[in-house]
Amino acid sequence: MSWVFLLIIAYFFVSLTALADKFLLSKTLPHAIVYVFYITLLSLASVFLAPLGFNIPNPFNLLISFVAGVSFTVGMYFLFTSLQRSEASRVFAAVGALGASFTFIFSFWFLNERLGLYPFIGFALLVIGGIFVSIEYSVDKKLGETGFWFSLLTGIFFGVAYTATKHIYDDQGFISGFIWIRLFSFVGLLLFLFSKKDRGYLKHSLSRQAPIRQGINKYILLGGQASSAVGFLILNYVISLSSPAIVLAAQGLQYAFLFVVGLILTKWHPHIIEEKITWPVVLQKTFSIIVICAGLAIISFIGA
């Protein structure tokens, strides 16, 4: 499949963004809402794609675009909250597996999407690998303290967002649908402004004294979001061509990139990103990535 190559490229860029996310959320930003603010603000740049194809949808599709955009923003909030509590590779693995499962269920119900035998086997391997790599046990941490519940909420909202996104792309086209969803993603941010505490976080982040605007942090933010823009655009284009459940389940590609880069940074630059390096953890993640790659291979070559 031609879109598989695009999927690999997309998740490479997304993995670079994930590393920037983890660094900023653990070292610089006091609250996830601040990061959501900067990301949704930068997403408004999608309006520059309007000359390539933009139209006004009917009221129903406008509502679906609203659901997709707002759900994605809320999902990001829970994702970044989870990132503050656990390792990047585990968080994205859990979110990928859970999000893919919910997307599969919602697509089955609302889009009447059906997977053939081999694509379903590949999808199942992707989800199993994602779940296995996300398992984190610590006698010092309760389940809630590992970020699991935030990952679960992320998976639910991403499932809604990706299912609604697929409908919009099929019905309205990629460029126009992408712009509307990004606009409504920013609207979703406004829901958080009802909280006085969240408004305080945002106000502080805009001051010159805010850590996010100091030294290398601002360059990490801009670099991470530039990488995100490329990866996210390609990823959404792939969703317009294939099953959103499989695309989200293939997030195992991101885990592989995260795992390798995380090991390198932990070894030589632990002040940037630190992942747990023990033989049980390395074997667990390596086996999980093999399972994930096997699932992707089945989808690419047998289920094509």
Q: For the chain, how big is the Rg over CA atoms in Å? A: 19
Other beta carbons less than 10 A from residue 261's beta carbon: 18
How many structural domains comprise the chain?
1
pLDDT of residue 139: 45
What is the C-alpha to C-alpha distance for residues 90 and 130, in angstroms, rounded to an integer? 8
pLDDT at 197: 81
Nearest to 78 by CA among 20, 17, 149, 23: 149
Q: How far apart are CA 301 and CA 194, in angstroms?
A: 49
Angstrom distance (rounded) from CA 22 to CA 75? 16
Contact between 154 and 79 (Cβ < 8 Å): yes
* Whole-angstrom distance, CA of residue 52 vs CA of residue 191: 30
Is the C-alpha dihedral spanning 227, 228, 229, 234 positive or negative? Answer: positive
Q: What is the pLDDT of residue 144?
A: 47
pTM above 0.75, yes or no: yes
- For 201-231, what is each residue's pLDDT tens digit? 777 776 766 666 666 777 777 788 788 889 8
- pLDDT, position 271: 55
Residue spans of the chain under pLDDT 50: 138-140, 143-144, 304
Q: Containing domain of residue 14, as a range? A: 2-302
Q: What is the pLDDT of residue 74?
A: 94
pLDDT at 30: 59
Separation of alpha carbons 290 and 283, rounded Å: 11
